[in-house]
Structure 1
Amino acid sequence: MRLSHSMLSRRRLLSLAALAALTPLSGQASAETITVATVNNADMVVMQSLTNEFEKSHPDIKLDWVVLEENVLRQRLTTDIATKGGQFDVMTIGTYEVPIWAKQGWLTKLDNLPADYNEADLIKPIRDGLSLTEGDDQGLYALPFYGESSMLYYRKDLFEKAGIDMPAKPTWTQVNDWASKLNAPDEGVYGICLRGKPGWGENTALLSTMVNSFGGRWFDEDWKPQLDSPAWNEAVNFYVDLMNNYGPPGATSNGFNENLALFSSGKCGMWVDATSAAGKLYNPKESSVADKLGFAPAPIAKTEKGSHWLWSWALAIPESSKSKDAARTFITWATSEEYINLVGETQGWASIPPGTRKSTYENPAYQEAAPFASFVMDAINSADPTDATLEPVPYVGVQLVTIPEFQSIGTQVGQQMAAALAGQTSVEDALASAQRSTERTMRQSGY
């Protein structure tokens, strides 16, 4: 049968329509979306603000952000990865989770990184903390976004007014004496600000370094909990008295971010916390005390061992992710020297994510903007997770214990310490309760 011109035209249009449905138009292919879970710390907020820069250079990838408070983030991520939920393609986790989760097979091994990533540039203690260093699965399982130790920040103007000279190695006894002289709540200044918010990565992190320095430890060589030991009692009583006498009210609500806000607004004479805060405190756009800031090593008591922690917030890809290639592209970008330079040029060099690359500390622009740079590098390199206590221990870790049970133990202990700080129980009762709950957890876990 011979087709009319109109019938031929109609058939041709239908064929073209079918072809168009099968073949995406150039430039209209949908981008792959990856979900990034991160903590609401300042450096991560900057990373989120640079989403457009990443998507502009990687138009085939879109970023969907889930930004959470630290304790909530940890709960969400732990639940998701343990159940293989697959909600997230990139997880912000740290030195505690990486080796434990990697051994469980929950994280994607990050081998064969691009040559221009320059893995050898990563600072060794930070890189090692994000790796498995023994067994058949040796290698890197997360890329460091920023690394840190801990240090003492103080107001030079207030110290000068009070006639105080900062020694090379301050002690906790001296800190208590100084706090008494600096404390002026009627003028809106408290002698000292310290973490009080409960959580294994919040108040427990600080208290662990204090306990280490007072000669204590979490467990003896037979894994028997030591929370009712004289060293724990001395350290925690000292902490509670110091904070109740010279700290801000409501301290059990204050973690890293809250104390950063307090100190940067001039409300604290001293603050012992993460070295990663230095860049924010030295930035006059973010800190009213930028021109008054002094810094010193974290205080010691009986020993320097374990007096300053070692930590890295890092980006990892869960095995449950269905977009591993896109996730790898993002985390190599966000932890690269290129990204650090981007932040330096757009946000100021003092605000770059610190503690990850040797090249950062060799950069003249960073050295000029960050007078604390070499100090922080020394603190990171001298924090030894394999030798952090006066007496021998069966575990690795400065402010944490690298066993799966510690997340629960550390949080329970943190809650008991917060209750003691708030006056809801005595230090002795809080430690006795913490000892019992930790003994029960360790017994149930087969230690």
Structure 2
Amino acid sequence: MRTHSRRRSRRLLVVTAAGTLLAPLLSGCWAGAGGTGSGGNSINVLMVNNPQMVELQKLTADHFTKRTGIKVNFTVLPENDVRDKISQDFANQAGQYDVATLSNYEIPIYAKNGWLHELGSYTREDRAFDQNDILPPMRQSLTGEDGKLYGQPFYGESSFLMYRKDVFAKKGLTMPAKPTWQQVADLAAKADGARKGMKGICLRGLPGWGEVMAPLTTVVNTFGGTWFDKDWKARLDSPEFARATRFYVDLVREHGESGAAQSGYAECLNNLTQGKTAMWYDATAAAGSLEAAGSPVKGRIGYVPAPVDRTASSGWLYTWAWGLQKASHNPDKAWKFISWASGKEYEQLVGEKIGWSNVPAGKRSSTYENPRYRKEAGAFQSVMRAAIADARPRDPGVQPRPAPGIQFVGIPEFTDLGTRVSQEISAAIAGRQSVESALEKSQELAEKISEEYEGR
């Protein structure tokens, strides 16, 4: 850990403001805090409460534990809560949880801090897992600076625009094959009120770097903005960043869902499923739930690439992946769970038990070659795969970037910075302040990070 006095004093200021979440990400040198953790023939798994993870929890006892004898104790929490808990447990290296759902944002950072068990040794021995079948963008995003593999994707995703084909047809609206954001705004205005209680579009407004800031940052990218330029100068006060943010805030305030400032991924998924919104821009992973058996909108949704402004594409790249804590008491048994949960066998199980459209896709080439998946997921699978292939995490905008990431900036400090900026943006969506005021405060926050990184 660096000891330069200016950097140390700045870090203390940031950590004090951030609370407990940022501190472990930045330090990388906490001592283990003990703890009971797993042991014997059981492992503990901490994961986000997304629908496909909940399905995994339901299937594990009958289809993994019965075969292996390994009991899996799940702790399932909302996204913001699970990130906090994971960062604490893995930073302390207490070993309370063997496995956790981590994204391609956290895994390179955690690996650099020495908190993760490398997985390459397992994949080389476990030929049935077929590591070469994992899509290259996913493999690359879960590899550390040392070139070693530290995560396995449960599912991968980009982002795209989803819309009600039946509503559009009745209103005489046509969705372009590759829409611009201005076209989307025009369509949202026309679709608003198409049915009683239906709004034109749903966009995340819930605070959280992985909530509102994810879609908003893709809008910033394609509008020509960036969080930092190549020299680490904060650019949240640039005209491009401001134009993108005003566009997003105005769109959701004028034609977006009720209670937008409290709406995240889960709320927008519910809104589209329940007929409360005509369009939704978000993760490609949502399509599996929309097209699942029993979904009231199955077969009624159209899918097109993420809207653009100045760039050719703007979809993000993301994976919820399994990370194995270095301090795990049962790493071999933990790998058996990871290899099952990210394996072809599990995809087959979901296809047969729940439906092929609900397979946790976006991670394996073989998934897109499976005729049963291609048939049932026909409404979205080709758009999803293209979006993942077109994602450009190292070059997502119109200017060079100092760190990788499309919907995030790949540095430890972004957890706190993105969250605090998101609170300002959400307040603007709620009408409690202007976009200008939100960005003025946000620029000041980002400039503190600039001081940390300038000259590197």
Q: Report the TM-score, using the length of structure 1 for normalisation.
A: 0.90
In the alignment of these two chains, the number of paired residues is 412
Q: Deviations over 1:229-248 (max 9, x none)?
A: 10111011111111111111
Matches within 5 A, 1:168-247: 168-184=177-193, 187-247=196-256
Matches within 5 A, 1:309-388: 309-371=316-378, 372-388=380-396
- Among 166, 180, 204, which residue is 2:175 paired with? 166
2:95 counterpart of 1:83: no
User: What is aligned with 2:425?
Assistant: 417
Q: Quote how far apart the aligned CAs of 1:186 are.
A: 7.3
Percent identity over paired residues: 47
Cα separation, 1, equivalents of 2:401 and 2:360:
33
Structure 1 residue matching 2:299: 3-state secondary structure? helix
Unpaired runs of at least 5, structure 1: 1-29
Cα separation, 2, equivalents of 1:446 and 1:157:
52
Cα separation, 1, equivalents of 2:48 and 2:195:
34
Cα separation, 2, equivalents of 1:383 and 1:251:
27
Name the aligned partner's letter for residue 89 of structure 2: D
User: What is aligned with 2:404?
Assistant: 396
Q: Quote how far apart the aligned CAs of 1:31 are.
A: 5.3
Cα separation, 1, equivalents of 2:327 and 2:346:
26
Cα separation, 1, equivalents of 2:96 and 2:453:
29
2:127 counterpart of 1:115: yes
Cα separation, 2, equivalents of 1:156 and 1:284:
18
Matches within 5 A, 1:2-17: none
2:311 counterpart of 1:303: yes
Cα separation, 1, equivalents of 2:223 and 2:358:
34
Contact kept, 8 Å, 1:31 with 1:62, in 2: the verdict is no
Q: Which moved more, 1:360-369 or 1:251-260?
A: 251-260
2:291 counterpart of 1:282: yes
Cα separation, 2, equivalents of 1:176 and 1:341:
39
Q: Quote how far apart the aligned CAs of 1:58 are.
A: 0.9
Q: Quote how far apart the aligned CAs of 1:266 are.
A: 1.1
Unpaired runs of at least 5, structure 2: 1-38
Name the aligned partner's letter for residue 211 of structure 2: E
Q: Quote how far apart the aligned CAs of 1:184 are.
A: 1.2
Structure 1 residue matching 2:198: 3-state secondary structure? coil
RMSD: 1.4
- Among 93, 113, 125, which residue is 2:137 paired with? 125
Q: Deviations over 1:20-76 (max 9, x none)?
A: xxxxxxxxxx952211000000110011001211110011x1111100000000011
The list of structure 1 runs, each at least 4 consecutive aligned residues, that deviate by more than 4 angstroms after superposition, is: 444-447
Contact kept, 8 Å, 2:226 with 2:397, in 1: the verdict is yes
Matches within 5 A, 1:6-45: 32-45=41-54
Relative to structure 1, is the Cα distance of residues 230 and 388 closer, same or farther in structure 2, using a 3 angstrom cutoff? same
Q: Quote how far apart the aligned CAs of 1:108 are.
A: 0.4
Q: Deviations over 1:79-135 (max 9, x none)?
A: 111222322100100010011111111100002320111000000001110112x5x
User: What is aligned with 2:67?
Assistant: 57
Contact kept, 8 Å, 2:202 with 2:252, in 1: the verdict is yes
Name the aligned partner's letter for residue 118 of structure 1: D
Relative to structure 1, is the Cα distance of residues 186 and 283 closer, same or farther in structure 2, using a 3 angstrom cutoff? closer
Cα separation, 1, equivalents of 2:448 and 2:141:
29
Larger Rg: 1
